[in-house]
A and B are shown apart, each in its own frame.
Chain A
C-alpha cells in the first residue's frame, strides 16, 4: 500500500463552486498535514498547515484532518479561476513542516469562468 493516496483528477468546476479535495495516508508517524498549491512551471507553495484533527479555516480554504481515519481534505469555497492549479497533500514527520515531506500525486483543478 502506498503511504499516500490522493483522489485522481483532473477536476473541472464552474466559478463559484465548492471544491473538495481528499487524501488518505497509511503511515501513523505522520504528524503534520499540509496542502500545497502548484501553478504550472512553478514550485509548490504552502497553502494550509495543521497538526491536529479537526478543521482549520483560512479565508475561502478549510483543511480538515481525521487522524483516526487517516484522512485529510481541503475545501475551497466560492472557487475562482485563479484557483486553477495542482493541489498536493503532504505530510511531515514528528518534527514539523520543516522535516522531509511526503507528497501525494496531486490533483489538477480547473475553475471555469
Chain B
C-alpha cells in the first residue's frame, strides 16, 4: 500500500506563529516516530508513540513542542511560538511493531520542510 505521507510538504511561517504538521503512517503500523533534520545534519529523534500514547518524548527540545496521536493512526506535531531555530525538515516514520516486540524497520515519510521567517 501507500507509504508514510506528511502534509504539508512545505510550510513557511513567521516567528511567533503556531504550526501543525501532520503524519499519516502506513496502515496497520502501531509505532510512529517524529525526527527533526537540520540542514547538513542527520535526523534527530523527537518523540515516539506506541498506539495512542507517547512512549518516549525525551527528544522534544522544549515545551513549545507537542505531539498527539488520538486514535492510534494519524499524528500531529504542534509547535507553538515558532522561532527561527525551529526551521528544519520534520520527518515522520512508522513501524509495524514497537520497542520490545521485534526488530522492524522504520519507514520514513518525505518530511515537512518548515521555514520560520
Query: Please, what's the 1-or-0 string for B51-93, where 1 marks a CB less than 8 Å from any CB in chain A?
Result: 0000010010000000000000000000000000000000101
Query: Please, what's the 1-or-0 string for B38-55, where 1 marks a CB less than 8 Å from any CB in chain A?
Result: 001111110010000000
Contact B59 A100, beta carbon cutoff 8 Å: yes
B100 contacts chain A at the CB level, 8 A cutoff: yes
Query: Please, what's the 1-or-0 string for B87-112, where 1 marks a CB less than 8 Å from any CB in chain A?
Result: 00001010111111111111111110
Could you say which residues of chain A place their CB within 8 Å of the CB of B31? 98
Known contacts A43-B4, A46-B105; A105/B45 CB under 8 A: no
Question: How many A-B contacts at CB < 8 Å in the complex?
Answer: 72
Stretch at the interface among A12-20, A65-73, A77-85, A88-96: A88-96
A75 contacts chain B at the CB level, 8 A cutoff: no
Could you say which residues of chain A place their CB within 8 Å of the CB of B40? 105-106
A7 contacts chain B at the CB level, 8 A cutoff: no
Could you say which residues of chain A place their CB within 8 Å of the CB of B103? 32, 49, 51, 95-98
The minimal Cβ–Cβ distance linking B22 to chain A, given in whole angstroms, is 15
Contact A100 B42, beta carbon cutoff 8 Å: no
Known contacts A97-B103, A100-B48, A100-B56; A43/B42 CB under 8 A: no
Contact B99 A95, beta carbon cutoff 8 Å: yes
Contact A103 B95, beta carbon cutoff 8 Å: no
The minimal Cβ–Cβ distance linking A88 to chain B, given in whole angstroms, is 5
Could you say which residues of chain A place their CB within 8 Å of the CB of B97? 98
Interface size class of B (residues with CB under 8 A): 20 to 34
A60 contacts chain B at the CB level, 8 A cutoff: no
A52 contacts chain B at the CB level, 8 A cutoff: no
Known contacts A100-B45, A100-B59, A105-B41; A43/B105 CB under 8 A: no
Chain B residues with CB under 8 Å of chain A are 4, 31, 33, 35, 40-45, 48, 56, 59, 91, 93, 95-111
- 16 of the cross-chain contacts (CB-CB < 8 Å) are A4-B42, A6-B42, A41-B111, A42-B111, A45-B107, A45-B108, A51-B103, A96-B99, A96-B102, A97-B104, A97-B105, A98-B95, A98-B104, A100-B56, A103-B44, A105-B41
